[in-house]
Amino acid sequence: MDADCIFCKIANRSIPAPLVFESPDVVAFQDINPQAPQHVLIIPREHYANVGELARSGQQALLGKILSAATEIATKLGLDASGYRLVTNTGKDGGQTVKHLHVHLLGGRPLGWPPG
Ligand code: 5GP
Ligand code: ZN
């Protein structure tokens, strides 16, 4: 738990946000500023700054749980046929603004490539 981290607060329910998925290790919620018709953030309950910090902590299995949650949510949102994108921005050049690891699930429209 990082006392200044907004996603820690969402995960521990001290900031209310409707959860679209909840498990012992992972929660997911709608992005406050959606970039697509469906835009969900999937996070570990525990605070890791980014995917590298999590992997270096020996928590690779948690990455699998996050990705499994993402695919389950995508299915629930009806995105399997149309497709979707999972992305985890890391650091300054990656465009990361919240320093608590999160995977974006984006779908519901064709997404451009390469990203800007
Ligand atoms: P990043 O830029 O770090 O990859 O993504 C951070 C995401 O978190 C952004 O898409 C932003 O809209 C979202 N976000 C930031 N603060 C909040 C918040 O308080 N609640 C929710 N639901 N999303 C947030
Ligand atoms: Zn955090």
3, pLDDT greater than 90: no
Which of these, 111, 115, 106, lies nearest to 38 by C-alpha position?
Answer: 106
Query: For the CA atoms of the chain, what is the radius of gyration?
Result: 14
Distance 81 CA to ligand 2 centre (A): 33
Confidence (pLDDT) at 1 = 76
Confidence (pLDDT) at 7 = 98
45, pLDDT greater than 90: yes
Distance 48 CA to ligand 2 centre (A): 7
Confidence (pLDDT) at 21 = 98
**Does 102 participate in catalysis according to the annotation?**
yes
pTM: 0.98
Q: How far is CA 86 from CA 9, 16, 66, in A?
A: 23, 24, 11
Q: What is the spatial distance between Cα 65 and Cα 79, in angstroms, rounded to a whole number?
A: 19
Confidence (pLDDT) at 2 = 83
95 lines ligand 1 (CB under 6 A): yes
83, pLDDT greater than 90: yes
For residue 55, the SS3 value is: helix
Q: What is the spatial distance between Cα 111 and Cα 25, in angstroms, rounded to a whole number?
A: 29
Mean per-residue pLDDT of the chain: 97
Which of these, 100, 89, 110, 104, lies nearest to 6 by C-alpha position?
Answer: 100
H or E element that contains 64: helix 60-76
